Structure 1
Amino acid sequence: MTDTHFTADYLIETPLPLEKVAEIMAGEQSSGTFIRVAGETDDLRARARAEVLGVVDLGEIDHPTLPSAWLIRRGITTRPHRATVRISFPIDNIGVNLAALASTVAGNLYDLGEVTGLRLENINLPASWRRRYLLPKQGIAGTRRLTGVAEGPMIGSIIKPNVGLTPEDTAKLVGRLCDAGVDFIKDDEISADPVHAPLAKRIPAVMAVVKRVEDRLGRRVMIAFNITDETDAMRRHADLVESEGGTCVMANLNWCGFSAVETLRRSTDLALHGHRNGFGALSRCDVLGIGFGAYQVLWRLAGVDHMHVHGLDGKFAQENSEVIESTAMCLTALDDQSDDRVLPAFSSGQWAGTVPVTWKAAGGDDFLFMAGGGIMGHPGGPAAGIESIRAAFHAMKNGKTLEDAADTSEPLRKALEFFGKAA
């Protein structure tokens, strides 16, 4: 990789010669098409064509993963092979244009008739080009400053019930969580600007409570208001959050799109909490879609500060190994000349019992650990739920087991008894 090119890594499946398919991919996503055309000079190809850097055959499989009418029409029934492919793309084909970058590395390739599977795994950018895109406004350091949590994991919760609460109900629940000692609270991804709790009323009601608690506790809990909407509405709602003294907004990344999130990032210094709901549709098939490696690069170029990685031993389908790898990616700078790390956010079925595996996975304490039911459902109430999680992290830091720590922490003991066997 040079300052003039970037690379993308793929997993492909095809019954055709692997090197030929890789060359088709490179041509399709740069200067070529299925046949050489007028104007496609040698000079133009030298400047603008993508180049295949490597193909590694991973072996034959029994059946194609996806159907291809193109292959059927040609009577091709050969068993497919899978392979990794690395392609180098000229930066000048794209400029500084995130939507164009995504279209290049993850566009028509998925529809190529020659493949029965294709997955974008990673994108590798030269530092000089990465710095021309947006950076996190807050990131890890800024989030710690805004929450007043100088060290240790940040403990968060989610508004539950997910929907149906009025602005006044929501504010009361936020007050309970703030009083209980939480560091961060977010809206659920499906609760944005509903009729029963419009943001215009919910934001002032919640922030009035947050500021009253701040007067008593000496710190302001970070609230991630879900402002997912069309771009102008998102900007208006972010302005309202900021005017009311808020520090964070949340966007459902996949449904807002790159342009809306980039525009939001440019218009506010608030921490931007990136929720990835819908990512499973892009990633759960092992030979189709996009892996988190490439996904998180694209959204970090849009300037998000926090990225969801799901939870360990949680309620979703991801293997723990995938969550661990995703966490490490968030905590690794894309550009070694600036700190563009983003805060990994663990969620989904989290409680004190999932703390040990989370602590080990994170390799430190720069992360956000969010529990909804694990806090709100604790038999001793939210304060006991938060204390059980803090006691679990304290045990990990001091090399103890949860069972040993439960001897001196009633909230932790009750959590282990109520929620089940510890992870």
Structure 2
Amino acid sequence: MDERLYARYWIETAFPLEYAAETMAGEQSTGTFTRVPGETDELREHHAARVEQIAELDSVSEPSLPGAGLPKGVTASTRYCRAELTLSWSLSNMGLSLPNVVSTIAGNLFELKPFSGLRLMDVTFPSVFLDRYFGPQFGVSGTRTLSSVYDRPLIGTIIKPSVGLSPQATADLVARLAEAGIDFIKDDELQADGPHCPFRKRAEAVMRVINGNAEKTGKKVMYAINITGEIDEMLERHERVRSLGGTCVMVSLNSVGMPAVNALRRHCALAIHGHRNGWGIYSRSPAIGMSYIAYQKLWRLVGVDHLHVNGLQNKFCETDGSVIASARECLTPMFPAPAKGCEVMPVFSSGQSAKQAPATYAALHTTDLIFAAGGGIMAHPQGEAAGVRSLQQAWEAAVTGVPLTDYAATRPELRTALEKFAA
């Protein structure tokens, strides 16, 4: 294999940038702390990582992370240089294996002593990876077909309380939401197969309600049932959901890992809703971890159909600009035509209500998204049905360019939502 994999990093170091870059390249390919007899020039020519580019940015007087080393003979440093650099590897090093790609681009390099900051910013895959990985089965257009929603966002919610409801109580809530015209419902990531709400009983109770509503209305609500578990459990649960007439399953991506999601995708006949809980481990510090640009490409290649991106004015620590950039990435093709682009549906959630609809649409310029509000629906003073209608109305206003307050003047559900969630 003579094609190459490229990864872009942000680094901070007290060492000369060229030395730091070569240290990274060596650690993640042919090198160790000293050259060994087997590391011939010929071997290095074919297998050593290459430093493709170094672009110096700025510098700081203090290290961003503890434990960083200093150049030999230096006892203190008042300058830590920051830069962006790009490394590349021959695919002959790792083959078409995402677990081994991750070991290469996001492995021991985070612990290297010369660095007081190191973050994976992006990864560029050659399209030959599509020979092994399927990518999304449904993506944006398939999700719209399954949900019968074509010209607006999917309005969704999360079962709340997150845990504690029985299977029947969950189904009763789903019935009210379905009758209100909701498009999408998901289990909370904390609810998978607990003793108080076993997966099988919950799935049967919920799908009985959804199927009954579909017979009356002609529209089947998409319910992302959480099947997170061991691989054999997930495959078995997928089959159960399919046999019950479901259209979607949910997986906690960071909990089960890429090989498990890949096994599910190869077996799967339903849309895969990818939940990123635990993402903060990678993202919270700007000085270490990885960007969502790199992260989401891994899961798109594996084959999820939906990916969470947080939401505007969210309850977490992510900025609105970062949220929108993440959503745009999900909708940007990974590979040039005619190869499969692997676009997925971005999922907006976290503290969402009617008030965020206009800003979301104005920033993203598309309705290709799932807009999921838990408390924004469940806590509506007039009940869940009014909560659903308030979101529908908010998005109507956003798309048509009518100010929310004007649109709410003749729509009590929206007006009440704005009063409730204004703070």
Q: TM (normalized to structure 2)?
A: 0.96
- How many angstroms apart in 2 are the aligned matches of 1:317 and 1:69? 26
1:387 aligns with 2:386: no
Match of residue 273 from structure 1: 273
| Secondary structure class of the residue paired with 1:116 | strand
Partners of 2:301 and 2:342 within 8 A in 1: no
Match of residue 400 from structure 1: 402
Partners of 2:15 and 2:70 within 8 A in 1: no
What does the per-residue CA deviation read over 1:128-176, in whole Å, with 9 as the maximum and x for residues that have no partner? 3345422101111111111111221100000011101111111111111
Match of residue 37 from structure 1: 36
Partner letter of residue 117 of structure 1? G
Partners of 1:406 and 1:413 within 8 A in 2: yes
Partner letter of residue 324 of structure 1? I
Match of residue 211 from structure 1: 211
| Secondary structure class of the residue paired with 2:136 | coil
Unaligned runs of 5+ in 1: none
1:324 aligns with 2:308: no
1:249 aligns with 2:252: no
| Secondary structure class of the residue paired with 2:95 | coil
Match of residue 28 from structure 1: 27
Match of residue 313 from structure 1: 313
Partner letter of residue 10 of structure 1? Y
Q: Which moved more, 1:29-38 or 1:111-120?
A: 29-38
Q: State the 1:92 CA deviation.
A: 1.6
Overall identity of the aligned pairs, in %: 48
Match of residue 50 from structure 2: 51
Q: State the 1:74 CA deviation.
A: 6.9
Match of residue 376 from structure 1: 378
- How many angstroms apart in 1 are the aligned matches of 2:72 and 2:252? 40
What does the per-residue CA deviation read over 1:212-256, in whole Å, with 9 as the maximum and x for residues that have no partner? 111111111011111111111111111111111111111111111
| Secondary structure class of the residue paired with 2:84 | strand
Match of residue 7 from structure 2: 8
Match of residue 81 from structure 1: 81
Partners of 1:130 and 1:335 within 8 A in 2: no
- How many angstroms apart in 2 are the aligned matches of 1:363 and 1:131? 33
Match of residue 419 from structure 1: 421
Match of residue 360 from structure 2: 358
For the aligned residue pairs, the C-alpha RMSD in angstroms reads: 1.5
- How many angstroms apart in 2 are the aligned matches of 1:3 and 1:171? 54
- How many angstroms apart in 2 are the aligned matches of 1:182 and 1:369? 11
| Secondary structure class of the residue paired with 1:194 | coil
Q: TM (normalized to structure 1)?
A: 0.96
Partners of 2:68 and 2:114 within 8 A in 1: no
- How many angstroms apart in 2 are the aligned matches of 1:367 and 1:336? 22
Task: Specify whether residues 25 and 144 from structure 1 end up closer, same or farther in structure 2 by C-alpha distance, changes over 3 A only.
Answer: same
What does the per-residue CA deviation read over 1:327-352, in whole Å, with 9 as the maximum and x for residues that have no partner? 11000010122241000000001010
| Secondary structure class of the residue paired with 2:371 | strand
1:336 aligns with 2:352: no
- How many angstroms apart in 1 are the aligned matches of 2:391 and 2:66? 47
Q: State the 1:72 CA deviation.
A: 9.7
Partner letter of residue 32 of structure 1? G
Partners of 2:65 and 2:287 within 8 A in 1: no
Unaligned runs of 5+ in 2: none
Partners of 2:386 and 2:413 within 8 A in 1: yes
Match of residue 115 from structure 2: 115
- Residues 285-304 of structure 1 mapped to structure 2, 5 A cutoff: 285-304=285-304
Partner letter of residue 164 of structure 1? G
What does the per-residue CA deviation read over 1:186-224, in whole Å, with 9 as the maximum and x for residues that have no partner? 000111110011112111111011101111111110111
Task: Specify whether residues 19 and 216 from structure 1 end up closer, same or farther in structure 2 by C-alpha distance, changes over 3 A only.
Answer: same
- Residues 138-157 of structure 1 mapped to structure 2, 5 A cutoff: 138-157=138-157
Match of residue 59 from structure 2: 60
- How many angstroms apart in 1 are the aligned matches of 2:8 and 2:30? 19
Partners of 1:333 and 1:341 within 8 A in 2: yes
Partners of 1:138 and 1:269 within 8 A in 2: no
| Secondary structure class of the residue paired with 2:10 | strand
- How many angstroms apart in 1 are the aligned matches of 2:327 and 2:346? 6
